[in-house]
Structures are given as C-alpha cells and as structure tokens.
Structure 1
C-alpha cells in the first residue's frame, strides 16, 4: 500500500510517521507486506537442479585423501540448491541431501541428533551402519533408516570406498529451532556397543510377522533398519505388468510395517520403475522431492526444463513445479524421498495433474 497523490499532504505525512514508528518497534503492518502473506500459489525459492555422479565421485575420492572422518565429524558433500545460501543445509523444501563416503578401514564416530535420517547406498559393498545397538552391512541399493536421536556410527571394513546418499529433515528441524547434537562418550567413542544380532530388526519386524511376546518401542518409527535392495527391486519388478501410476510408473513406498505409513515421521521414501520407452504424464504437488538414479538412464521435464540423467545422478524437484519422467535405452529405477509426511500432517499436501493439452 502506498500513499497516492489524492491523499492530503498531512495524511500522507501522518502515515509515513506512523509506519516509521512501527518499524522502530520491529512491527510490520500487514497492508505493506500483503504479497508475502497472501499468495494465489506457492512462491517457491528452490530451483530444479542435478548433481552428476561423474562430477561427485572424483571429488569424493579426493576428499578421502585430504580430510579424515574424525576431522569432518561426517565426511559429507552437501548438495545445496543453487537458490539457497551455500552455508545452509537445504537441498529442497524441508529436506537435505548429501553424499557421505568412507574409505577402506575408516570409522565415522558414533553420535546422535534431532533430525531423522536415512541412507540409500550408491556404491560399494560391506561397510556397516550401527543404530541403537544393531549393525547392518550395507550394499548398493539398500535403504537404511536412522530415527531421530538414535545413536549411530558407520565403518568400512571392506577393501573399497563406500558411498551413500544421506537424507535428513534437517531444514525442518532447524526451522523449528529444535536441533540438538551429542557425541557418544562412553568407552570407545568411535563405536557404540552392539547389543543385538546383525539384521535382528529385519527378522523380527520385516517379514510380515512379529514376535507376539514383544511390542515395538514406538509405532511411529519403522523398526526395520535395512530395506534390502534385492527384496525391494524384486517387489518393484513383480508389479511391472500393472498399469501403475500415470505420473510415476510403477512406484512403491518404503513403509513402516507397524502402520503402513512412512518409515520416518517426516520423510517418505520411494522406489519406482520406468519401463522401456515409458513416459509419464506431468503433474505437480506441494511435496519437494530428491531423486537418485539407482539404475538406467532417462530424463525429466521439470518446470519446462529437460534434465537428462544417468545412474548415480541426483536431482531435485521443488514444490508445485510440474514434472514428468521418461526412460531411455531401456528401463530405469529411481529412488526418491520427500517431505510429504510433514505437509500431510498439517493438511498442506496438494496435488494436481498438468493442465497442458499437448
């Protein structure tokens, strides 16, 4: 709102003095900032972007020669959206993505933090993650969960580098001013004690059965530590003859077996198959999404921009931006995760098909 020439000079002066006084009190009148509070559609800051594995891997290996995991706390290459400040922890929306890696023989010390985390293994075979007393060996394509405030450490006892995509709700927790962190400080601070057999959570909770004598500690968290690639990929291909989603092809959500909901309260994760020559229809939704190419190659049209991708690449789709996908030269499998549970919890999840006629 601005003072027009039709207003008396004394009224214009009174308004100017009034607004100046409000500013000194750190108060902003709504009528001077209505555009920021009332929007016909989301005003999205993040932009579509892709990080190429062929660029990341050499830098990863170089970082392995220069910085130890102990110096870095976690040796992670943060994927920061070009629209955001480089020191932020935002990849898109309320989610963060980063490439974490361990060289042979390395350990990432045990710690815990308020943000929930999960990991999709990009490369390697034989490193481990330990979460609250259980250890799992990680292989390419595995999906590993780490609930908020759970002790966790990593180690690479294999003879090759290991790399995985870290996903966290870090921007959301920071927005709420609720982020806490703690190093493990008992005995060997590098590794927490292992209290259960390897893959105990999978045997106990991940086979469509549960021990009748035991109740889970929390129903809102998936009790399964590692969703194996071989099982997940087989489930995806078992449905390949289904019509699937017109917008995402054959897409499966990793779920909490206790509730059928997302594996973590703030993060939902998916695996999707794009069959040979499949081209999905365009749609958009208020959930922001990070994609990682697990297998094959193809492309996505995001907000009118074509992005071509291949195995190992990671790309993002901002909230309320139209997008569609296609495979090239065969089939493709995409892993993805989003802040969908946050939006759903607050009644803010909205989806719409493309209005295009072509």
Structure 2
C-alpha cells in the first residue's frame, strides 16, 4: 500500500521543539529519504578524470610542495556528487593520484583504512609493505592492507605516479580512521609474488598460513595481462574476459572491503555490464575505451580514470579495431556481499 507520509511542517512547532530538546526526531517525514522505493538514493555521479589534465597539475605540485611538507603528495579524485571537500569517489572508495620524484622517500606509516596502489607511469620506485620491498612497474597492483607499515622510495630518474584506492570513506564514517608514523623498515628477503607466481601451485603444505593474513602484496601486471590473454584464447566465446585479484591461499578477494579486477576487451568489442549494487571505478591501463553510464559517455585514454554509481548499467567499447584494451577495476563488492546487500539487476 502506498500513501503520502506526513511532513515535518505538519507538526506543531512547540511539539517539534520539545522533541529536539530531548534529542528526538520523528521518522515518518524522512522515511522515504532513507528508504526510497526500488532504488537507493545515490550521491555518487558518473565522473571522468583525464590523466592528461591531472599529470601537469601533479608535476606542478611536485615543484610547489617538497615531500617533507606533503608526506604523501596526492591529488584527490573527488566525486562532485559527494562534494569536493568530502574527498571521495563513491560511498566507500577514495581515489588519489600520487607523485614521487627521483630521490624522494615517503616516510613509513600505517593506518586503519585498506589501500592499494595501481602504478600509472615511471620506473625506479618501490613500496616496502610489512618489510617486503615491492618494485613498482606500470600496471602493477600493490596492497597496503589495514595496519601494515608501508613506505615509498624512488631510486630512478623520472617521476613515478600511481593511483591510490582506499576504503577511507567507509572507515572515516565509522569513526575508525587514524594513522601512526614509524621509521624506516628492515627489508625481508621474502616476496609473495615469487612464492605464488603460478596459478594452481602453491608452497607446501598449504595449511600453514603462518602469521600473514596477506601472503601476496604485489600483483605484477605482466602476470595479470598474461592471464587475461590466456583466458581469451582458451574461451573465444567468452564475453567478459576478466580476472579477480585474490588471496592465493584462500581464493577470497585480496582485501576485505573493496574488490579489484583486470578486464580485457577484445579488438572492437562492445561489452555491456549489468547494473549491480556496488559503485565501480575503471582505470585504463592500455588502449582506449568508450564508457557509457546512463546518458553520459566518456572516452578513457591510457591512465584515465572514471567512476560509475551503483545500480547503474555500464557499457564498454574498445575503440581499437585490431588491438585489445586493458582496464583495472575497483568496486565495493566484498563490502556489499558481507552486508548481504549485493545484487545484480
């Protein structure tokens, strides 16, 4: 049964004042706002951040602000639907482009939000996470999970840029966001991407997970790209050629709040993605992709990033007739699944 609910203005002012004096609020005037029919109210807007716009501004930031004054030199990719001051791309996703110049060191710290780094350009930089030194190569995904010490350094000669993806908005909303500073880490010899370099084979015995909740911290792009090409060749009729970045010991998502994926579009392919509850971030690693989100269309060149709200269908089109296109994707799927609200429409 559907009927119009009473408005706050329908209540006498003295009654409203009395409620407010006792920290009470009537639900019915706002009920449709927090529980709308059929589709949630969404602040996230479809938004495109071209790298050719970001890059010169990021390099200018490198000239204006030394790393000692910035600690992390980042330009935040803010979604206008949430307000630029909120510094978030979606309800649970924060995005930022981070710059590290030759010889710089971003000091060690740890924090409660989970983070990943998708390397955008440059060579010679590294990120040490929990004592494991991870080389930064374009297209690599590097984890810095909640509570783990991490620092970044640069031994090369050219600027290095990467895309930060954090669940910061969610952790901040929960009033659980904070960081702790630390000193330089002692590098350990183990590297997870070597121990788990081949699918289907893992160090024996499998059940000994030791003390590491995150046995693999660096996911080389060369391996992910090869997996996509093998999958496409093995299943030529498969539409969505996609792989998920997972924990190699459990098969679960590599982090516990946000999901991360790599997607290949065959030459000239158009791929419709169904409307799903989580918001989605797309970052172009190689090629050019046309992205349609409802009435909006973006063209992603290499290193461009865009965001689409949840409950919205997305259509991807590879603009090249003879070359594949490769994208990195991030979304809120693990969070929605844990909360029991994940759905596909």
Match of 1:120 in 2: 118
Where 2:303 maps in the other structure, the secondary structure is: coil
1:140 aligns with 2:138: yes
- Equivalent position of 2:216 in the other structure: 224
Q: d(CA) in 2 for partners of 1:303 and 1:176?
A: 31
Deviation at 1:25, TM superposition (A): 2.3
Aligned match of 1:334 in 327, 330, 337? 327
CA contact (8 A) 2:273 2:315 kept: yes
Task: Provide the residue aligned with 2:256 in structure 1.
Answer: 265
Q: How many angstroms does 1:320 deviate by?
A: 1.0
SS in 2 for 1:237: helix
Pick aligned residue for 1:91 from 59, 84, 89: 89
Unaligned runs of 5+ in 1: 4-11, 353-358
Equivalent in the alignment of 1:240: 232
- Residue 284 of structure 1 pairs with residue 256 of structure 2: no
User: Do the aligned partners of 2:272 and 2:313 also contact (CA within 8 Å) in 1?
Assistant: no
Tell me, yes or no, if the aligned pair for 2:193 and 2:220 is still in contact at 8 Å: no
Partners in 1 of 2:28 and 2:156 — Cα distance? 62
Please give the TM-score of this superposition, normalised by the length of structure 1.
0.88
Q: Classify 1:265/1:277 alpha carbon distance in 2 versus 1 (closer, same or farther; 3 Å).
A: same
Distance in 1, matches of 2:302 and 2:290, equals 11
Q: Which runs of 5+ in 2 are unaligned?
A: none
Secondary structure of 1:240's match? helix
Candidates 327, 342, 345, aligned match of 1:349: 342
* 1:291/1:316 contact within 8 Å kept: yes
> 2:110 touches 2:147 (CA, 8 Å); kept in 1?
yes
Do the aligned residues in 1 keep the contact of 2:275 with 2:311 (CA within 8 Å)?
yes
- Listed one character per residue, the Cα deviations across residues 191-211 of structure 1 (whole Å, up to 9, x for unaligned) are 2121x11x5222334443124
Q: Is the 8 A contact 1:112 1:151 kept in 2?
A: yes
- Aligned residue pairs, count: 333
Alignment of 1:1-358 (within 5 A): 1-2=5-6, 15-40=12-37, 41-184=39-182, 189=183, 191-194=184-187, 196-197=188-189, 200-207=191-198, 208-212=201-205, 214-218=208-212, 221-241=213-233, 242=235, 246=239, 249-329=240-320, 330-352=323-345
The alpha-carbon deviation at position 282 of structure 1 amounts to: 4.4
Q: Secondary structure at the match of 1:307?
A: strand
* Cα offsets for 1:308-351 (capped at 9, x unmatched): 11111000011112211110023210001111111100101111
Q: Secondary structure at the match of 1:158?
A: coil
Contact 2:121–2:161 (CA<8 Å) still a contact in 1?
yes
DSSP 3-state at the match of 1:167: strand
Query: Once superposed, which parts of structure 1, at least 4 consecutive aligned residues long, lie more than 6 Å away?
Result: none
Inter-partner Cα distance in structure 1 for 2:144 and 2:34: 36
Using the size of structure 2 for normalisation, the TM-score is 0.91
Deviation for aligned residue 1:281:
2.2
**Quick check: 2:103–2:156 contact (8 Å CA) kept in 1?**
yes
Tell me the CA shift for residue 64 of structure 1: 1.0
Helix, strand or coil for the counterpart of 1:323?
strand
CA shift digits 1:277-322 (9 cap, x unpaired): 1111242111111111000002111022111111110000111122
SS at match of 2:136: strand
Mean alpha-carbon deviation: is it higher for 135-144 or for 34-43?
Answer: 34-43
Q: What is the CA–CA distance in structure 1 between the aligned matches of 2:223 and 2:143, rounded to whole Å?
A: 16
